[in-house]
Amino acid sequence: MSYRPDSPTPTRAAALVASVLTADALLHLYWTTGATWPAADDRSLSQAVLGTYVPFTPPILLPLVALLLTAAASVLAHSRRPRHLLLRFGTLVVAAGLSLRALAGIYWLFAKETGTAFYWLNLALYTPLCAVLAVATLHVARWKDAARAR
């Protein structure tokens, strides 16, 4: 039995979160091939994405791809079945992870050098996106309470 909300807002928020997490997973999957686009090489890609050097190899990237796809599926599934406890827990875990990344991004704005690609990507893209996605994911997670009240 599926639940159809009167308002499409939680479904749209879940679609946004799932879309971004899936796109991120696909980008990381692409990097498992050894490609370094949009950077010139593995080291500069790692510096831009992480602010430090970590080799972009399949043993490192494939678990991250699996985690991102699982997170996307969890949030999307919870928007369709808001009374399922395990899906709600998974959605809350995703919200917590996104919140932690947003908070770490704020810290890095003060701790990292301002002239690096990571600093500017963190400022303009990573941190704001994680903050928006965390709020959207929390909106999806609390939808269970709204569904129960109806």
pLDDT in tens, 53-67: 999 999 999 999 999
Domain boundaries, position 121: 9-145
88 within a domain of the structure (yes/no): yes
100 within a domain of the structure (yes/no): yes
Instruction: Give pLDDT tens digits for 3-46.
Output: 455 566 789 999 999 999 999 999 999 999 999 999 999 999 99
**Structural domain total, the chain:** 1
Whose CA is closest to 80, among 6, 14, 16?
Answer: 14
**C-alpha distance from residue 30 to each of 21, 70, 85, 132 (Å):** 14, 18, 33, 25
Residue 144 and residue 83 in contact, taking contact as beta carbons nearer than 8 Å: yes
72 within a domain of the structure (yes/no): yes
2 within a domain of the structure (yes/no): no
150 within a domain of the structure (yes/no): no
78 within a domain of the structure (yes/no): yes
